[in-house]
Each structure stands twice: as structure tokens, then as C-alpha cells.
Amino acid sequence: MDLSGLLEKLKGLFTPSFLISSVTPLFCFILFNGAILGQYNHTVRKWVSDYYLSSSASKAVSGAILSIVLLVIAYVFSTLNLFLLEILQGKHLPKWLEYSLRTGENARLDALTEQWQNARQLRRQLGPNADTWRRELQVARDQGSKLSECNYGVDNNVYKSVEGLVQLRNAGAAIQADVLRDCITRLANVLETNSANLANNPDSIRLDRHHLLLFRLIGYAVGKAEDEYLRRFNDKEFNFSRYTVAPTRIGNAAESVRGYALSRYGMNLDFFWPRLQKAVQARSDFYKTLQDAKTQLDFTVSLFWLTVASIALWIVLLPFLSRTWLPLISVGLIGPALAFMWYRMAAQNYRSFGDLLRSCIDLFRLELLTDLKVPFPQDSQVEVQLWDRVNRWISYGEGNIFVAYKTD
Amino acid sequence: MGRKSIGKGATRSRLTHWNWKIPCFLIYLALLVSGLLMIETRVGPIWRNGKFADRIPLFVAAYNWLFDSERMQYVATSDMKINHQLLRSDFTLPAISETLYDYFPRIDDIRGKYLKKDITAGKPIFLNDLSPYPLIDPQPDTYVVNIRLSKQAAPKGYLEPKSTVVIVPKDSTDKLEGTVLSSTWEDAPSPSPTKATENKKPSPAPASPVSQTGPSPNN
């Protein structure tokens, strides 16, 4: 085989995904640890200085050998990627740690559920009442407009209450139903006994402004409650599965995708994903986006584990090498912070990846049915029943299941 | 009521979550402290005449730079006047921990520079008190002109400070008489020793050509 053929073969072997998710983190790892080692080891320092002083030919040979060694290590490392990701998903952990971690995730789920339930309750309290409250204010104003006086100063408690709601709006906070209701009742009382239609009367102008303001604040409170409800629902739905709680954030992000397929379509995603991939691959743009998201995820997972390995290495070695405290303290403090940051980024990337997987399920599941030569269902309920039958037939291997074939 | 019970459950669960994190954190902290103790047992414990500066030189240097910057400056070895051009033998490192010497200004930032003010022996030399060119002190009823001369055939030290000169502009026959205030002779830079090779008590360095032509302190 000639050189260009070999290079082409190598190019196919080392995809951009491999270079980004395995080679780059490993290169950073070697560079970082080599730099620290160089501070304490004369041989390393000498080797680096000799390398820079060497001739171009010698540099090229050394560089080529190093690159090949790096690629081989990276390739071995890339085979561990799945295992390392599974550990971050909470698999292969000691039971005690798994239990402790799951306790934490349960607490997070409880908190999210509580927030979601609060948001749902607020939405239910505000939504149906908004128009009634607006009418109540208008009726009170109409009644008060028959009067010819207005007493509504800035020291009025109702004025302060409305301004308090404005502050909540400015802070982007949700307005609780009882607080809003109380404010509406009190302002309605003021509107009944004072005219908000008197020209050149500062108190009347102020009352008129507050009436309009509260009118808008009702709309804000309803909109915010709706938005909060959706946000909390998404947080809960896309961070956790409906069926199980994994010990880690990343594990729960993964479970949420599995739970999505099962709750929406009754699909066993673990089994059908490799088959679904065929349909996704046919859409090259979408498949590339999916691959990019996976590359980003693998990149941060690799960085996390290599950072953990560096911390462990130097926490053991530095007490025997360093004469000062700072290197050990730096590794001890900055290292975990960095690892934590990579972990959070990996979790974030997994959520993005999970979003794409959910889109894949929504968009390509019917193409999978086409590939399986199974006719399309008539509606969503029939579809769930169909996937259940297909699951039992293919995934579980139950022999007495009947699934019709598409014959045309 | 239901909401409250959910809230309590979440709080309890969160506390359980922290129950295992705190021991893990303490174990990690103990590991770090034992690492520091290991360093102490290797290099001689700090509680037996050890110096903090030797253990955390960067922090001590940063502290000194911020709050006690005099300690992080070279000190004058003798009394020197304004416009004195500094030689390596004119300044030395102060008597502080050697580990802090790495955080001192570069010697080349000081050597060859001119003092902007008088300085007494043992006092720190701040970079702000140095100038790359000698200062010209304005006098009443005088006209100060900076003239750059190409080296031409003039030997070094041709125009010493206090030398009397006559200037004749090309387009005029008027002769103007004046006195040289200062002169510098810019040679190509010579290789200078690195800080690592510097002695703690510097030996007098040979005077550079610049110093031979430099202005006298009385100028």
C-alpha cells in the first residue's frame, strides 16, 4: 500500500470526533502533567530543552514517534469512554456510594417536584380568576367615578402594596395568588370610595395609574405563572425519568430520554435505538448534529476523568517532590473545582444530547416502522399499542404476539 | 398541607444528601493536610525555625508587593545622587528569604537606568525612581536643547558633561555657546547574566562605557 493510501486509511480511522473527544483531552493531560513533572524532574526538563535545541530532522522523528504513541494511547482511552460515561451515569459504583448519591438525586427531584406543584397550583389559582378580578376593579372604578373627591397619597397602604407588586415584577419573581387577590380587594375598595377620573388632581391621577398598573400586573402574574409552570415541568421532565431515579445527574438525564420514549410511545429505547440510528443516518444533517453533540459530551467526560486522574496523581506525588505548599494546595483546591466544572458541563451536554435523542424518537420512529415493514398506526393511542406489541415481539421475544406486515 | 409535607421531605432528603458529602470532604481535607505534613517532615518542619516564605513564596511575595513593597526591591549599596547611572554593584538583594528573589524585578530593568532622586545606602530602589535617560534640571535664563549626534568619528567620552561647546546652525552664522549637561553613549546590548547566576553579595562590575560619559552628580 502506498503512503497516500495509508494516510487515507488512517484518516478514516481517526475521525474528527475521535481527535476531539480523545486525542485533545489526552494531549492536554500529558502537557499539563508534563509541565508539573518538569518542575521537579531534571530529566524531563533536559529532554524538553534538548528537543528544542535538536535539528529539524531529529525533531520530526521524535515528533512522529510521540504522535503515534499519543494516538495509540488515545485509541485505547477512547475504548474506555463508554465505561467512563457509565460510571458518571451511576453504574458500576459501590452500593454505599450509589445509595448516597441516589439519596441526593431524590432530594433534587423532590425539590423540583415541589416547585412544579407550586407553579401548577399558582397557575390554577390565577388563570381562571384574572378576568373576574379585572372586572371587579372596573366595577369599583365606575362606582367611584361618580364621586368628586380622591384621597390616594403615597403614604396609603394600598399604594405601597401595589408598588410592592411592581418590585416583584421588576425582580422577575412570581406573584402569589393570595398577595395579588389581597391587593386587588384593597384597591377595589379605594376605587369605590375615590374617583380615579378627576383631572388635575394628583391623587386621582395616581389612583388611575395604579388601576392600570394592577390591570397589567394581573396579566404579568398569569403569564409568569404559566411560564414558571412550563419551566418547572421541563426541568422535571428533561432532568428525570418518570419511572426511576439514577444516582447521578448524568444518569438521570440519560434515564429521562429512556423514560420519554416509554411514556410517549411505549417504546423500549435501549433495544430500538440501534435500529432507529439507521433512519437517522439517512438524514445526514441531523445525524451530524447528533454526532457533534455526542462528541461534545465525550470531550467533557474525557476531561473530567483526566482531571480526576491528574488530581489523584499529584496529591500522591507532590508531598514527596515539592518543597513548598502552594503546588499541593493548588492541585487540592483548583483540581476538584475544575473536575466539578467538567462534570457539570458534561451533565449540560448530556441534556442537550438528550434533547436531540428525543427529537430523533419523535421524528424518525415512523421511519423505523417502515424499515420494519410494519404499517403506520391510525392515531396516537393505536401507536402506543402497536409499539407495545412490537416490543413484546422483538425485544422480549414473546411468540404469541401478532404484528401485521405492510405488504404494498 | 400537602405542599408543606413535600417541602419537609425534600429538606430531610437534602440533609441526608449532605450527610455523606461532609465526611468525604473531611477525608479529602485530611489527605491534603497529611500531604503538607509530609512536605514538612521532608524539608524540616516549619515549627523549628522554618519560614513561611519558604513554603508559600508566591503568597508572601504577593503580600509583600501589596502591603510592604519596600521588601521586594533591590537596595542601594552606597549613597547615590540624582542622575547617577546604576551599575550592578550599586544595588543588591535585601536580606530576606531566597525563595522570594524569583519575584524581584529583572536586573536589566534597573541596571543602566538613571536615578530620578538622591538615594542613601540600604534604601530600596523603586522602578518608579528610575529613568532610562538622565534628567535635565531646568535653570533660569537658559535654553535647553536636546541634540542627538550620530556617532560619526567621535570617540567615546568626546563630549563630557560640563564640556563647553559652540553650536553653529547650518543656515546661520550665529554661534551659540553652551555647556553639556549629560551625554549617553548607546552601544549594542551586551549579554547580561541571568538572575540565577547572580551572587547574593555582588562583586563590583567593570564600569560600562555609558558610566564613563555619564553626568556627574553635581551636574
Going by C-beta distance under 8 Å and a sequence separation of 6 or more, which residues neighbour residue A339?
A: A304, A307, A308, A311
CB atoms within 10 A of CB A223: 12
Position A332 confidence tier, pLDDT thresholds 50, 70, 90: very high
Phi and psi at residue B123, to the nearest 5°: -90, 150
Mutation site, A321, A325, A331, interface B, largest B CB count within 10 A: A325
Question: Which stretch of A90-99, A372-381, B18-27, B209-218 has the lowest confidence by average pLDDT?
Answer: B209-218
How far off is chain B from A100, nearest CA to CA, in Å? 6
Contact A140, A285 (CB under 8 A): no
Mean pLDDT computed over A46-55: 85
The pLDDT of residue B6: 41
3-state secondary structure chain A: CCHHHHHHHHHHHCCHHHHHHHHHHHHHHHHHHHHHHHHHCHHHHHHHHHHHHCCHHHHHHHHHHHHHHHHHHHHHHHHCHHHHHHHHCCCCCCHHHHHHHHHHHHHHHHHHHHHHHHHHHHHHHHHHHHHHHHHHHHHHHHHHCCCCCCCCCCCCHHHHHHHHHHHHHHCCCCCCHHHHHHHHHHHHHHHHHCCCCCCCCHHHHHHHHHHHHHHHHHHHHHHHHHHHHHHHHHHHHHHCCCCCCCCCHHHHHHHHHHHHHHHHHCCCHHHHHHHHHHHHHCCHHHHHHHHHHHHHHHHHHHHHHHHHHHHHHHHHHHHHHCCCCHHHHHHHHHHHHHHHHHHHHHHHHHHHHHHHHHHHHHHHHHHHHHHCCCCCCCCHHHHHHHHHHHHHHHHCCCCCCCCCCCCC
Position B183 confidence tier, pLDDT thresholds 50, 70, 90: confident
Q: How far, in Å, CA of B11 to CA of A114, rounded?
A: 11
Q: How far, in Å, CA of A200 to CA of A206, rounded?
A: 11
The verdict on a CB contact (< 8 Å) between A315 and B32 is: yes
For the ranges A206-220, B34-48, B127-141, the one whose mean pLDDT is highest: A206-220
Q: How far, in Å, CA of B20 to CA of B11, rounded?
A: 15
The verdict on a CB contact (< 8 Å) between B7 and A114 is: yes
The pLDDT of residue B14: 55
Q: Which three cell numbers stand for residue A72?
A: 495509540
3-state secondary structure chain B: CHHHHHHHHHHHHHHHHHHHHHHHHHHHHHHHHHHHHHHHHHHCCCCCCCCHHHHCHHHHHHHHHHHCHHHHCCEECCCECCCCECCHHHEECCCCCHHHHHHCCCHHHCCCCEECCCECCCCECCHHHEECCCCCCCCCCCCCCCCCCCCCCCCCCCCCCCCEEEECCCCCCCCEEEECCCCCCCCCCCCCCCHHHCCCCCCCCCCCHHHHHCCCCCC
The verdict on a CB contact (< 8 Å) between B39 and A323 is: yes
Mean pLDDT computed over B30-36: 93
Position A284 confidence tier, pLDDT thresholds 50, 70, 90: confident
The pLDDT of residue A2: 53
Nearest to A360 by CA among A255, A264, A279: A279
Mutation site, B22, B28, B32, B56, interface A, largest A CB count within 10 A: B32
Position B82 confidence tier, pLDDT thresholds 50, 70, 90: confident
Mean pLDDT computed over B205-213: 36
Going by C-beta distance under 8 Å and a sequence separation of 6 or more, which residues neighbour residue A85?
A: A250, A297, A298, A301
The verdict on a CB contact (< 8 Å) between B10 and A329 is: no
Percent pLDDT > 90 in chain B is: 14
The pLDDT of residue B51: 73
Mean pLDDT computed over A260-274: 88
The pLDDT of residue B190: 46
B8 vs A332, higher pLDDT: A332
How remote is the C-alpha of B192 from its chain's centroid? 16
Q: Is B14 an 8 Å CB contact of chain A?
A: yes
Position A13 confidence tier, pLDDT thresholds 50, 70, 90: low
- Which chain B residues are Cβ-neighbours of A117 within 8 angstroms? 3, 6
B201 vs B136, higher pLDDT: B136
Q: How far, in Å, CA of A86 to CA of A80, rounded?
A: 10
How far off is chain B from A337, nearest CA to CA, in Å? 13
For the ranges A98-102, A332-336, B39-43, B201-205, the one whose mean pLDDT is highest: A332-336
Q: How far, in Å, CA of A137 to CA of A152, rounded?
A: 16
- Which chain A residues are Cβ-neighbours of B9 within 8 angstroms? 110
Write b or e for each residue in A144-159: b if 16 or more Cβ atoms lie within 10 A of its Cβ, otherwise e: beeeeebebeeebebb
The pLDDT of residue A259: 92
Position B16 confidence tier, pLDDT thresholds 50, 70, 90: low
pLDDT at B13 over 80: no
The pLDDT of residue B21: 80
Q: Is B99 an 8 Å CB contact of chain A?
A: yes
Contact A217, A90 (CB under 8 A): no
pLDDT tens-digit readout, B97-111: 877 888 888 888 899
Contact A68, A12 (CB under 8 A): no
- Which chain B residues are Cβ-neighbours of A336 within 8 angstroms? 28
CB atoms within 10 A of CB B79: 13
3-state secondary structure A291-345: HHHHHHHHHHHHHHHHHHHHHHHHHHHHHHHCCCCHHHHHHHHHHHHHHHHHHHH
Of the partner residues B7, B32, B58, the one whose CB lies closest to the CB of residue A332: B32
How far off is chain A from B10, nearest CA to CA, in Å? 5
Contact A221, A126 (CB under 8 A): yes
Closest residue in chain A to residue B29, using alpha carbons only: A332
CA distance to A251, B15, B73, per residue, from A96 (Å): 17, 17, 56
ipTM, interface predicted TM-score of the complex: 0.70
CA A25, A28, A34, A36 dihedral sign is negative
How far off is chain B from A103, nearest CA to CA, in Å? 6
Q: Which three cell numbers stand for residue B41?
A: 517532615
The verdict on a CB contact (< 8 Å) between B9 and A315 is: no
The verdict on a CB contact (< 8 Å) between B38 and A324 is: no
A147 vs B192, higher pLDDT: A147
Mean pLDDT computed over A375-390: 87
Of the partner residues B3, B34, B59, the one whose CB lies closest to the CB of residue A326: B59
Position A30 confidence tier, pLDDT thresholds 50, 70, 90: very high
Contact A226, A343 (CB under 8 A): no
Q: How far, in Å, CA of B45 to CA of B38, rounded?
A: 9
- Which chain A residues are Cβ-neighbours of B39 within 8 angstroms? 318-319, 322-325, 328
Q: Which three cell numbers stand for residue A403?
A: 404484528
Q: How far, in Å, CA of A366 to CA of A388, rounded?
A: 14
Q: Is B63 an 8 Å CB contact of chain A?
A: no
Find the radius of gyration of the CA atoms of chain A.
32
pLDDT at A47 over 60: yes
pLDDT at A310 over 90: yes
pTM of the model: 0.70
Mutation site, A45, A98, A105, A110, interface B, largest B CB count within 10 A: A110
How far off is chain A from B109, nearest CA to CA, in Å? 26
The verdict on a CB contact (< 8 Å) between B6 and A326 is: no
CA A28, A33, A35, A36 dihedral sign is positive
The pLDDT of residue B17: 59
pLDDT at A396 over 90: no
The verdict on a CB contact (< 8 Å) between B3 and A117 is: yes
- Which chain B residues are Cβ-neighbours of A322 within 8 angstroms? 39
pLDDT at A388 over 70: yes
Position B11 confidence tier, pLDDT thresholds 50, 70, 90: low
- Which chain B residues are Cβ-neighbours of A121 within 8 angstroms? 3
Q: Name the residue type at position B24.
A: C
The pLDDT of residue A97: 87
- Which chain A residues are Cβ-neighbours of B32 within 8 angstroms? 315, 328-329, 332
- Which chain A residues are Cβ-neighbours of B53 within 8 angstroms? none
The chain A residues in contact with chain B (CB within 8 A) are 100, 103-104, 106-107, 110-111, 113-114, 117-118, 121, 315, 318-320, 322-326, 328-329, 332, 336
Going by C-beta distance under 8 Å and a sequence separation of 6 or more, which residues neighbour residue B70?
A: B124
The pLDDT of residue B7: 47
Mean pLDDT computed over A131-138: 92
Size of interface A-B (CB pairs under 8 A): 75
For the ranges A218-232, B9-23, B65-79, the one whose mean pLDDT is highest: A218-232
Mean pLDDT across chain B: 74
Question: Which stretch of B113-127, B130-144, B150-164, B196-210 has the lowest confidence by average pLDDT?
Answer: B196-210
How far off is chain A from B27, nearest CA to CA, in Å? 12
Mutation site, B33, B36, B43, interface A, largest A CB count within 10 A: B36
The verdict on a CB contact (< 8 Å) between B35 and A336 is: no
Q: Which three cell numbers stand for residue A315?
A: 496529591
The pLDDT of residue A212: 93
Mean pLDDT across chain A: 88
Task: List residues bridging with B71 in a β-sheet.
Answer: none
Going by C-beta distance under 8 Å and a sequence separation of 6 or more, which residues neighbour residue A196?
A: A141, A144, A145, A150, A204, A207, A208, A211
